[in-house]
Chain A
Amino acid sequence: MDSVIRGIVIYLFLLIVVRLSGRRTLAEITAFDFVLLLIVAETTQQALLGDDFSLINAVVLILTLFVTDIALSYVKKWSPKTAAMIDGSPTVLISLGKVDQEALNRARVDLNDVLEAAREQHGLERLDQVKFAVLEVGGNISIIPAEQQG
């Protein structure tokens, strides 16, 4: 019983904390993020297992995590509102060349990040060549370039 409760609590807790820490955390794995990920993984493992290293505990835990995941995917399918809460929805950062400063600030995205994405995806040189910039659910920024003039 313990393992199931531990599994569900840790799953939901991680889901909430990762979601509330902001999407940008997930977008680009820097060296620091990698270290953070390792530490969180290690801490989670201890909280999940306690000092019970039996095979059955591992089996029950793995099943708990998978079943929770599947159940959550069904909940998301049935209720689009919950899905939007859990996964978020895309944020438009630049619309028709106009920068949405509120969205940038609140989503903790820099114009430099937008320019980086513009360079990487389309080889764009300047901000005025960006028609749309959207912060996607996964944390990456997608760019739609303005039509080339002349």
Chain B
Amino acid sequence: MQAPPIRKDGLQLDEKRKLHRAFWAVERVAWVTFALVLVLALAGLTGSGGPLSKVTVGFPAGEAEYPRVARWEASDELLVRFNSGAETRRLALDHSFFEYFEVEGVQPEPERTLTSHDGVVMEFSAQQSAPVKVIIYLRALHAGLVNYRIGLDDSMADASTMILP
């Protein structure tokens, strides 16, 4: 360990002013970055609520609202609304969905659950063809980007969710 040099003013101290200046600049940039992260979080891009945290896709039979950004081991929701018009409504989700999400509950409970080649189909019955609203309570099992397909009755749509660690 070398002793620090003696400065012109007589103080024996290694100040590294150049490094300080660089650090002070980095520090200010970091504070702005911290603030930006907060803005992104408020917008919903870090998951757990916020205007941008959900995506809504329309289908002939209704619409589905799935999380754009979810958090690993945190709860989330997939909301499906079927328009009025049929007694039996079918919601299909493919295998990759279940690889990344654990279904903690479905509200209302499906009348039947079928396994198909592509994934799982849940059937809900509607009294007098009334509109049906289904909420699936999810919990993300792994972090990463997951692409899956959501199907309402006969039409399918691609969806993707970023699961943050």
Residues of B66-84 contacting chain A, CB below 8 A = 73
Out of B7, B9, B27, which one reaches A20, CB within 8 Å? B27
Q: A95 to chain B: closest CB distance in Å?
A: 5
Given A20-B30, A95-B11, also A88-B23 (CB < 8 A): yes
Contact residues of A: prevailing secondary structure:
mixed
Interface assignment of A84: CB less than 8 Å from any CB of chain B: yes
Contact A95–B27 (Cβ < 8 Å): no
- Given known contacts A51-B73, A132-B11, A89 and B16 CB-to-CB distance under 8 angstroms: yes
Report chain A residues within 8 Å CB of B73. Answer: 50-51
Q: Chain A interface: which size bin?
A: 20 to 34
Whether A89 lies near B19 (C-beta < 8 A) is yes
Q: B1-21: which have CB < 8 Å to A?
A: 7, 9-11, 13-16, 19-21
- Binary interface encoding of chain B residues 60-103 relative to chain A, with 1 for a CB under 8 A from any of its CBs, else 0: 00000000000001000000000000000000000000000000
B15–A106 CB distance below 8 A: no
Number of A-B contacts (CB under 8 A): 42
Q: How many residues of B contact A (CB 8 A)?
A: 19
Q: Does B145 contact A (CB under 8 A)?
A: no
A92 contacts B by Cβ under 8 Å:
yes
Chain A residue at smallest Cβ distance from B23:
A88
Nearest to A136 among chain B residues (CB) is B13
Q: Does B39 contact A (CB under 8 A)?
A: no
Question: Which positions in A face B, CB cutoff 8 Å?
Answer: 17, 20, 22, 50-51, 84-85, 88-92, 95-96, 103, 106-107, 132, 134, 144
Residues on B lying within 8 angstroms of A by beta carbon are 7, 9-11, 13-16, 19-21, 23-24, 26-27, 30-31, 34, 73
Q: Please, could you name 8 A-B residue pairs with CB atoms under 8 Å apart, sorted by A?
A: A20-B26, A84-B19, A85-B19, A88-B23, A92-B11, A92-B13, A95-B7, A107-B24
